[in-house]
Amino acid sequence: MIFGEFPLAECEGLLLAHSLRLPERIIRKGRRLTGADIQVLAAAGIVRVNGARLDADDADENAAAGAVAAALGGPGIATRAPQAGRCNLYATERGLLTLDAGIIERINRIDESVTVATLPPLSAVRRGAVVATVKVIPLAVSRVLVAACLAQAGQGAGLRLLPFQERRAALIVTEQAGDPPRNYVTAVNSSRRRIEDLGSHLGLVQRCAHRAEAVTVALREALAAGCSLILVAGATVPKDRADTVPAGIAAAGGEILHFGMPVEPGNMLLLAQIGAVPVIILPGCARSRRSNGLDWVLQRMLAGLPMGAEEIQAMGVGGLIRSPLELDEEDKPAEPERVRAPVGRRVGAVVLAAGSGSRMGAGNKLLHAGRRRADGAARGECGASFALHRGCRRHRFCGRGRAGLPGRPRSGIRAQPGACDGHGVVAALRPGCPGG
């Protein structure tokens, strides 16, 4: 490939490097210029054009990106038509993305001209979601480079989609006296949404007392109804394998596979099974729509991946889930600290309290309110203009003055004892009135 600036007369067949905005149209970058394009450019007064002339062994950016993307896509993954050197791969159905990170890394290390980016492994995606993208950086690359990328791609081994398998799920909600009704409602709604989002359905909902024997009866009824996945939302989260709901599972012939998980939110999840049917005691966060460890377990389980103690223990790296819906205290913007002037600076406070305060009864409440306001201001307790003070010595208050409004600040400033580095002037408003 030869890249450079070419005289317009030599540009037919050239790949345009940058879009050209003309009075009546835009010629997009990457376009192979035709004779008609040359005439339009000439009429617009353009005499030279930046672009690339391909050699016989070059592949243009779209052909190269399309070839690499097609080689990467496996079952459940398809490609879209490449544009501007980019080819996206998308999911053909709802499922879980699996990938070979080694293949992706090896392709990215071959040459800077070809890049591959993917979603994180084990991402749950909907039909039509983009799961990866191949971008060719220059306008063209050598066919030898494309062949090297194809050799690493493994013909579909790089990216695969595991479709979610439909299951009939049951939800058991245990209750204690005094539980608010909303607990049941939120447990059912959040569980139904999670199950349906993964292509399954909530076929049975049961309510029972928060007692081990009641849980055992509900579990047996769910198994008899043909449910292949059982969720239990307890009135309380178990704190031990011998707690109420785990004891009910054991009495129903179940086995506790793992209690607790290195994922937050979701630490208190318990995984068990009765025969081949998985039973999950939901963590408290499962009542929320925010992503948590339960989502990870359900996604992988319904995609047909093994799920047991070993798989849960491997979730710790990346297991601190930060949902965009969350805003922890440390994420809240902190109020800026008030700036204080160095010790020893002298700031005088002048309060305009010229009113008589006669409408407010005995005593000049206007002056009294002004004094309180100035005292706070001088200590840096109100607005930023007074927060610069660290050592105001005195306040001098001028009562009713006759010099007129412009003269009152001057009178107050002159009344300050000694030299001040600055003066703050405030109006003493009627008590209870906001400042203007």
Domain ranges of the chain: 2-53, 58-163, 168-313, 347-427
Cβ contacts of residue 51 below 8 Å, gap of 6+?
3, 4, 6, 11, 14, 15, 16, 17, 33, 139
Q: Supply the pLDDT for residue 427.
A: 67
Segments of the chain with pLDDT less than 50: 327-336, 374, 377-404, 431, 433-436
Fold adopted by 58-163: Aldehyde Oxidoreductase; domain 3 (3.90.1170)
Q: Tell me the CATH number for domain 168-313.
A: 3.40.980.10
Q: Supply the pLDDT for residue 1.
A: 85
Asked if 25 and 110 touch (Cβ cutoff 8 Å), the reply is: no
Asked if 390 and 380 touch (Cβ cutoff 8 Å), the reply is: yes
Quickly list H helices, 306-406.
309-313, 365-378
Nearest to 87 by CA among 136, 124, 42: 136
Buried b / exposed e along 205-238 (16+ C-beta atoms within 10 A): bbebbbbbebbbbbbeebbeeebbbbbbbbbebb
Please list the residues that pair with 20 across neighbouring strands.
Answer: 27
Residue 32 DSSP class = B
The CA-based diameter of the chain, rounded to the nearest angstrom, is: 101
Structure tokens at 247: 């004891």
Q: Supply the pLDDT for residue 349.
A: 73
Q: Supply the pLDDT for residue 369.
A: 52
Give dist(CA 403, CA 50) in Å, integer.
Answer: 75
Q: Tell me the CATH number for domain 2-53.
A: 3.90.105.10
| Residues present in the chain in total | 436
Q: Supply the pLDDT for residue 155.
A: 77
Given the structure tokens 């205290």, which residue do they identify?
329
